[in-house]
Structure formats: structure tokens, C-alpha cells
Amino acid sequence: MTSYQLSSGDLTADRRAHYARLYAEGGDLGAAVDLQVQALSLAPGWAAGWQALGDFREKAGDLAGAADAWRQVLVLAPNDIFGAGLKLSLTGQAETPPTPPSEYVEALFDGYSDRFDTALMENLGYRVPERLAALIEDAAGSNAQFAKVIDLGCGTGLFGERIRRATSWLEGYDLSQGMLAKASDKGVYDHLGQADILHGIPAARLPDAQPADLVAAADVFAYFGDLSGVLAVAASLTAPGGLLALSLEAGPEGCEWMLQTSLRYCHGEAYLRRQLEENGLYLLTLSREPIRRDGPDTISGLLAVARKRPGATVTEEPAALAISPALTAALN
């Protein structure tokens, strides 16, 4: 998030909001709410300030007041860069969206990019890249070489680093420019592009318009509830006989998909199996295992490797992604 969103533009309002955060961190939520209301009386058009007020009220148990604040966020920032709509759905004030707003996800990871690797690998014990690479090796053989790999939601390149030796051509796509800049610094990709993998723009073509013999989505589908659209895109990018490797956060038994308090989605095993089958893929490996920590809790994941059926219908060209040509040129 940019500075103008995090600052109200009023020094006194910013100071009161700062003290409000300190009181909230110290557990005095009543004082935090009072100070945040004072800040907003000075800067009523500050969307990020209303988001903070909603969060303070939620922690204080005032869900109706929190919902009022989040609705004001949506009035001021209808693109929902702060995820207010997701918060409303979690508190029962709105229907759960099948996907979060792209602007929210992009802003989230742009703000996270500088500390992403350290936070995940060292602080949270994140295991998806190496475990998914290991499952791919088990499915394809330890000496397998892929002519082309597409890394969907490549982030800073954690999975790309682990698959680079097994491919002669590696493409990475992500919604966040901050993440792509970090991935570019690592020098492991042959091509990088900014893309919204659900809402493709047909005029923006992949470099060679050829499907890949491995498509990977490591820790990407947790930002999609309904997987039908994004799995259709991933399947269309996979060559007949090629592999699709992905990870999900595991949901409770009987769950299809569900938004969690982390504002990430979890999915059920039966739902994943059905979605793969409907998109012309058959499951080779499915592993349920710990993938990272979240405070005192351990997050359980579903890691899957599937093969596209040789006879599956393939479009004339893979589903094109919404790629920013200017960013692609800058990164390559």
C-alpha cells in the first residue's frame, strides 16, 4: 500500500491513529477505538483509517460497529484494496466472494515483497516450494527435464529456484510488481510478466503461445475460493500429457471452499479431485501435510501433482494471461 493510503494527510490525525495502534497492541481496545474515531473526525475521507477502526471494533467485539466502518471503506475505496468486503463476509455481514479483489491481493504482496522470503522461510517454516518440487520429481523421475515450465503466482521465485535445474525454459507470472522485481533479481527465470491468472486478456499472448509440460501454482490457489476458473486456465496452459502441480490449504472434511480469518481460502480434498477431473486432469499424487506455521498453529496443506489426459481437448492457444508489456520489458 502506498504512503498516501497509509497516511491521512493530516499530521494530527496521523498522530492520534498512531497512538490508537499502540493502545490496540497493548490490549486497550476502547482507547484505540476512541482515538481512531478522533482521527477520522479530522480526516473523514481516509479509507485506511476506517479499515483500522473496523479492525479495532472487531477485536473489541463490536461487530456491528466494525461492519459500519468497513462499509465506509468500500464507499471511499470501491476497488477494495484493503479487503473490507472479505472482512464483512467473515463477520456474516455479506456473502463470501469466490475470489478476493485483485487490487487487494496486489497491494498485499507489493507491501510484503521486501520481507517475504525471510518471513516465510525463516519465521513461518514455509515448506511448499521444496515439497512440491520433491513431489514433481517423484512423479516425473529424478532425472526428468521439462522443456517448458510455467510458474503461476511465482512471487519472489522460491519455487523457481528449486525447479530451475529441471527445465531449459522457465516463465513466471505474478500480480505483484514488487514480487516480480524480487524474482527478477534472482536471475532464475527466462521470462517474467505481470498477470492476473484468473482474468486473462486474449490480446496479451504468452511468448511462444505453446503450452508447458509443467505448470506449477505453489501457494497461489489459497487466494481463490471457487477453483473452477483458475484451474481451467492452468489446465489450458498445460500440454496434453504434461503435469500440473499445486498446493492448497486443507479445509475440514466435507468442505468445498471456505474463507478463513487469515483472508485466505481453504479447500476440501474431494472438491479438488472433482475440479481436476472436470478439467481433464488425473491425480498422480496427493499429500496432506504441514506447510507452514501461523502463530501457535500449524497450517495443513494439500499438495497435488496431476497429469493432463493426452486426449483432453486443448484450445488452439493456451489461455493468455493479462501481461503488462512495459513491465515484461523492464524485467527481461
The class level of CATH for 3-95 reads mainly alpha
pLDDT digits (tens, 9 = 90+) for 85-112: 999 998 888 889 888 888 888 888 777 6
Task: Quote the CA–CA distance of 259 and 266 in Å, as a whole number.
Answer: 7
Residue type, 128: V
More confident position, 9 or 208: 9
- Whole-model pTM: value is 0.83
| CA 130 to chain centroid | 18
Hey, where are the domains in the chain? Answer: 3-95, 119-331
Is the pLDDT score of 312 beyond 50? yes
pLDDT for the residue 1:
40
Q: What sign has the CA pseudo-torsion 56, 58, 62, 66?
A: positive
pLDDT for the residue 330:
37
pLDDT for the residue 169:
94
Is the pLDDT score of 329 beyond 50? no
pLDDT digits (tens, 9 = 90+) for 259-295: 998 899 999 999 999 999 999 999 999 999 998 887 7
Q: What sign has the CA pseudo-torsion 253, 257, 259, 265?
A: positive
pLDDT for the residue 114:
63
Q: Which H or E element spans position 12? A: helix 11-25
Report the topology of domain 119-331.
Rossmann fold (3.40.50)
- The band of 195, judged by pLDDT with boundaries at 50, 70 and 90, is confident
For the record, the C-alpha cell of 94 comes out as 455479506
More confident position, 64 or 325: 64
Is the pLDDT score of 182 beyond 50? yes
Q: What sign has the CA pseudo-torsion 322, 199, 196, 304?
A: negative
Is the pLDDT score of 79 beyond 70? yes
32 close to 16: Cβ distance less than 8 angstroms: no
Distances (CA, A) of 25 to 40, 250, 325: 19, 30, 43
- The band of 47, judged by pLDDT with boundaries at 50, 70 and 90, is very high
pLDDT for the residue 313:
56
Cell 477505538 -> residue: 33
pLDDT digits (tens, 9 = 90+) for 132-147: 999 999 999 878 899 9
pLDDT for the residue 4:
39
- The band of 24, judged by pLDDT with boundaries at 50, 70 and 90, is very high
**Count of all residues that appear for the chain in the document:** 332
Task: Quote the CA–CA distance of 191 and 202 in Å, as a whole number.
Answer: 18
Is the pLDDT score of 320 beyond 60? no
Mean of pLDDT values over 5-28: 90
pLDDT for the residue 54:
94
Q: What is the 3-state secondary structure (H, E, C) of 100-113?
A: CCHHHHHHHHHHHH
pLDDT digits (tens, 9 = 90+) for 196-240: 887 643 334 456 668 899 999 999 999 999 999 999 999 999 999
